[in-house]
Amino acid sequence: MSCYFRQLKDVFDAAGVTVTKENRKAVDAAIHGLLGLTEKHCPTAWSAFKEQVGTDPKARAAFAKKLARRLKA
């Protein structure tokens, strides 16, 4: 789970999310939900993120906003 978290530091920072041992599963579930994934397979999630969001700063910022909203809900 969450092997891709180290690649998303900028997204977490923009979302105001600090990943901890306690919230790691919730953050992972939120990311999977935003990507439309039901499978809890780390490489699949990372591939989907790269496909859907990629490295574009605007796309990453938009994803960060969605992530922040989802985690606050």
Three-state SS at 25: helix
CA atoms within 13 A on the CB side of 65: 5
pTM score of the predicted model: 0.91
**pLDDT tens digits, 22-62:** 999 999 999 999 999 998 888 999 999 999 999 999 999 99
Name the domain count of the chain.
1
Containing structural domain, residue 58: 5-72
